[in-house]
Structure 1
Amino acid sequence: MVTRRNFIINTSLAATAVLALPSLAFSMNKKEIGLQLYTLREELPKNVKETLEKVAASGYTNVETYGFSIKDQFWGLSPVELKKILDDNKLKAVSGHYNLGSYLYDGNTAELIAAIEAAKILKNEFLTVPWIDEPFRKSIDDYKKIAQRLNQAAKMCKEAGLKLAYHNHDFEFQKHDGITGYEILLNETDKNLVYFELDLYWVVRSGNDPLKLFKENPGRFKMWHVKDMDKTNPALNTEIGSGSIDFKPFFKEAKQSGMVHFFVEQENNYAGDSFQSIKTSSDFISKELI
């Protein structure tokens, strides 16, 4: 994840410089650029090998998987087969989105156990929960129940050498008797076990401020989705740097956030084609944000 800068000759002098200027710490420990593979959901099922080759050629070193199921695994590939393709392209699947079947709602652990096994084979660092179905997030009690299930799953993940994270959309910021679902999840989960993947687009789209979340919950947001908002239609995405979200203030506070990985995601509105779009985003991030 960390690339060493050749200009650091004397480690003691470098350490002194970082202590004197803490703001340099993030720029000196440059983050690798990740891609949420859902961005390429039209291409992946057709040809996983070719798609991942193009991901690597576009400047990405990390990926986040999606779509695992007990029946179909990853687009018809077993975790072992997918890991080989990733390795061949020097890509690391540091996180994966796993739906966990009905676990969050009824406690059935079958798909959670299968997801943990797949995540171990891929050498994921994080097993990430991407979504809560609408019928199960209508009240404070619903969110408290989800939080407890996340705590339980996180314990199972820890025993397997993994970390559990939760990814947001905008519905978590709806209020229930004066408190948002996201506040409940943050407050009711064990901060030493349950981490959060903050989707910056959905936070901004919901009218909230990521910087405020960082300040109020330092260190909780170990991962981000970096997804830009179209300037004319907020419901659409666009390439990073081409939309209305200014990501620079967020990256300046990466340390307070706790961020260790981030992933570009673009779900629609590609300029030209999706592969050109992910390269445009990667190039902008490399030049302007890290």
Structure 2
Amino acid sequence: MVLQSLSLQLYSVRHALDDDLPGTLARVAEIGYQQVEASHKLYSRGPELAQAVRDNGLGVPTYTSPLVTLPGREVPDPQAVFAGARELGATAVIDTYIPEEHWTSREDVETIIEGLNTAAVAAAEHGLRVGYHNHWWELEQRFDGRTALEVLVDGLRPEVVMEIDAYWVAVGGEDVLALLDRLGDRVRFLHLKDGPISRNNLEQQPAGKGKLPIEAIIAATPQVEAGAVEFDEYAGDIFEGIAASFEYLRTRTAATA
């Protein structure tokens, strides 16, 4: 079993993007990536991102933005978010980071559920889906023996999808394959990084260089539409890191094999 497609989460090369956005996307394409996961924050800087995406023939299956309004959390205008996603050709808008302090109670989770469900209804008017991306705390936090992430999924509209960061699932103390099995078809996107399974971002490694059972994860998720290489940080040269991940994953990806 192989991935249907492979992206690079552009957060991985954010520092290079700050210095030279067109040159960075050209370099990403030269490595071999045919897709990227872009953010509304990056898109909002101006037309440079959309132009560079077009110039390099890149697809953008997923687009990230805050969607759920919470105390102290700035959320952009949803209509602007959905318009940006549509311009880049995305099929889903993913809320990728709801901080740990917003997961302390069932009431917290209900608030997030309401926010994602509301966003999903609005997104559907633009032909888009809404999704959520986990970190470790949604797995560590439990209510009546169940992870907060699964409590979240229970309350979501059926069209809301999950972008599962497999590494953070493991850091959160869960068996990645068992969780993926429980979530089933709800998982439509994956984030793939590797390492010693620790919270130290600088210890993250290219796919295939750490303890994560990446081949088994791919085999267990045939419904996944795109896997995305991501580094929160990297102790080496980030372009060497994303290239190493690409080399490992390209033979495990239908579009690049």
Contact 1:248-1:289 within 8 A present in 2 as well: no
Structure 2 equivalent of residue 268 of structure 1 = 233
Q: Give aligned pairs, total.
A: 251
Structure 1 equivalent of residue 124 of structure 2 = 158
Compute the RMSD of aligned alpha carbons.
2.3
Structure 1 equivalent of residue 245 of structure 2 = 281
Task: Work out the CA distance in 2 between the residues paired with 1:277 and 1:109.
Answer: 31
Does 2:224 align with 1:259? yes
Task: Work out the CA distance in 2 between the residues paired with 1:154 and 1:47.
Answer: 34
Give CA-to-partner distance per residue, 1:90-121, whole Å, 9 cap, x none. Answer: 11111111024x62559997522221121111
Task: Work out the CA distance in 2 between the residues paired with 1:222 and 1:109.
Answer: 24
Task: Work out the CA distance in 1 between the residues paired with 2:214 and 2:174.
Answer: 14
Q: What TM-score, normalized by structure 1, do the two folds share?
A: 0.79
Task: Work out the CA distance in 1 between the residues paired with 2:101 and 2:182.
Answer: 29
Give CA-to-partner distance per residue, 1:4-57, whole Å, 9 cap, x none. Answer: xxxxxxxxxxxxxxxxxxxxxx45xx6232100110011001110000001011
The amino acid across from 2:116 in the alignment is L
1:183-222 equivalences under 5 Å are: 183-191=150-158, 193-222=159-188
Does 2:34 align with 1:61? yes
The amino acid across from 1:129 in the alignment is D
One of 122, 137, 152 as aligned partner of 2:88 = 122
Task: Work out the CA distance in 2 between the residues paired with 1:249 and 1:134.
Answer: 28
- For the residue of structure 2 that corresponds to 1:169, the secondary structure is coil
The amino acid across from 2:239 in the alignment is F
Does 2:205 align with 1:241? no
Unaligned runs of 5+ in 1: 1-25
Structure 2 equivalent of residue 92 of structure 1 = 59
- For the residue of structure 1 that corresponds to 2:251, the secondary structure is helix
Task: Work out the CA distance in 2 between the residues paired with 1:160 and 1:75.
Answer: 18
One of 223, 234, 238 as aligned partner of 2:189 = 223
- For the residue of structure 1 that corresponds to 2:16, the secondary structure is coil
Does 2:42 align with 1:37? no
Q: Aligned-pair distance for 1:196?
A: 0.3
Give CA-to-partner distance per residue, 1:208-260, whole Å, 9 cap, x none. Answer: 122212322220100000010147x66221111111212111111122xx211
Task: Work out the CA distance in 2 between the residues paired with 1:32 and 1:288.
Answer: 9
The amino acid across from 1:260 in the alignment is E
Give CA-to-partner distance per residue, 1:153-191, whole Å, 9 cap, x none. Answer: 001111111110100001111113433211111100012
Does 2:149 align with 1:182? yes
Task: Work out the CA distance in 2 between the residues paired with 1:194 and 1:142.
Answer: 18
Unaligned runs of 5+ in 2: none
Task: Work out the CA distance in 2 between the residues paired with 1:52 and 1:128.
Answer: 21
Structure 1 equivalent of residue 46 of structure 2 = 77
**Percentage of identical aligned residues:** 27
Q: Which has the higher contact order (CA 8 A, sep 6+)?
A: 2
**Higher Cα radius of gyration:** 1
Give CA-to-partner distance per residue, 1:42-93, whole Å, 9 cap, x none. Answer: 1001110000001011111111113x34xxx537323xx4222111111111
The amino acid across from 2:113 in the alignment is A
- For the residue of structure 1 that corresponds to 2:243, the secondary structure is helix
Structure 1 equivalent of residue 22 of structure 2 = 49
Contact 1:32-1:60 within 8 A present in 2 as well: no
